[in-house]
Amino acid sequence: MNILFLSTHLNSGGITSYLFTMTKGLICRGHQVHIVTSGGNMEKEFLSIGAKLLTLNIRTKSELDPRIYFALFPLSRYIRENKIDLVHAQTRITQVMGALLKRLTGKPFVSTCHGFFKTRLSRRLVPCWGDVVIAISEAVEWHLRHDFRVAREKVSLIASGIDFNEFDLIDGARKKERRARFHLGDEPVVGIVARLSDVKGQDILIEAMNKVVPYIPNAILLLVGEGKMENVLREKVQSLNLGDHVRFFSIVNNTYEMLSLFDIFAMPSRQEGLGLSIMEAQAAGLPVVASRVGGIPSLIEDGKTGVLVEPENSSELADAIVKLLQDPERLKEIGMAGREFIKKTFLADKMTDKVIQLYQHLVKKHS
């Protein structure tokens, strides 16, 4: 099959990681993948695995932006010339484009819902979910069916998966060597890899760190990511006098390299469709402390494959972090249990095979 993915950009992040995993899996199985975006810092990685990239100026958050409509006709021509079998959109903007492209080309159209949408009138009047919308977790499936009244037969639950082979178990020697590159020693390190936004809860983690330091005075918090909340978060760090304990790093293409610096991965999200970065941390053998929201409980059995805390509760978060750092055996035990859980449950091959079955069904139906 010839598959065309639509997304607004190819910068590092959850959706781009999902796209990379899907693209790699499809190409390994003999399919051709075309990706249309406005470009990004991951382009070389996609080209290296054989994807065909088309860059168009479609990076916008407005469904009324004329740029997305100007792009429809060159895209329609591209679909015909490259004998595209199916279009798969990843964001709200590209869902709108996918729905219009189906009208122009007659090709089946799928979308993936990676999280939670606000129930705006435009999404109710012009849903643009496609022939089928993939929900990445049970929580997202419930959101689609109950908040947007998407018919049961239009929703396909296919949990995101990761390439487990890319996440070797982090051993002591490797951690020590990589920490030296970042001027870190043997101090306890708590970290998060996520865009700096209100929904990811880095502000809650900073507040928790203020309560961790009195018990573990040499603890360090690493905030890895970029986003509009950076200045606000830096101001919060200064106001709490945590400048010696909190460090900011720009997002990197190699997530594993940053994970290898951590002792604990913390994700105090206010909302989360599933939690790809949590899955990656678990695959690397890191114990995870995360908030009990969205799809996160499907990844963590509290006290066994991770630790769940109530959202917005910096005290509970701090308490969980302190207890783990003070108990190295439990720290290791939870990390290994999380790794085994991901290995058994959320592999990329399983996700890719299910998505291909969906594609084949829709292509056959539209033939």
CATH of the domain at 355: 3.40.50.2000
Same domain, 322 and 301: yes
Average pLDDT, the chain: 95
* Closest to 133 (Cα-Cα) out of 355, 350, 295: 355
Mean pLDDT of 152-160: 96
Q: Domain tally for the chain?
A: 2
List of residues 6+ apart from 329 with CB closer than 8 A: none
Single-letter amino acid, residue 295: G
Same domain, 268 and 138: no
What end-to-end distance do the CA atoms of the chain give, in Å? 13
82: pLDDT strictly greater than 90:
yes
When pLDDT is cut at 50, 70 and 90, the band that residue 176 belongs to is: confident
Same domain, 336 and 216: yes
Same domain, 291 and 185: yes
Torsions phi, psi for 124 (to 5 deg) = -80, -40
Same domain, 95 and 236: no
When pLDDT is cut at 50, 70 and 90, the band that residue 175 belongs to is: confident
The parent domain of residue 25 ranges over 2-161+347-366
Same domain, 170 and 277: yes
Q: Residue 272 in contact with residue 293, Cβ under 8 Å? A: yes
329: pLDDT strictly greater than 80:
yes
- Measuring CA to CA, how many Å separate 202 from each of 95, 103, 232, 261, 273? 29, 42, 10, 18, 17
Over residues 109-139, the pLDDT tens digits come to 999 999 999 888 888 888 999 999 999 999 9
Please state, as a whole number, how many other Cβ atoms lie within 10 Å of the Cβ of residue 185: 10
Same domain, 208 and 245: yes
Mean pLDDT of 88-100: 97
- Say what percent of the chain tops pLDDT 90: 87
171: pLDDT strictly greater than 80:
no
* Closest to 29 (Cα-Cα) out of 9, 71, 57, 1: 1
Q: Cα separation of 264 and 335, whole Å?
A: 9
pTM of the model: 0.92
When pLDDT is cut at 50, 70 and 90, the band that residue 1 belongs to is: very high
Mean pLDDT of 157-170: 89
Over residues 196-213, the pLDDT tens digits come to 999 999 999 999 999 999
* Closest to 54 (Cα-Cα) out of 116, 108, 6, 110: 6
Q: What is the pLDDT of residue 191?
A: 97
Q: Cα separation of 255 and 219, whole Å?
A: 21
Q: Residue 147 in contact with residue 123, Cβ under 8 Å? A: no
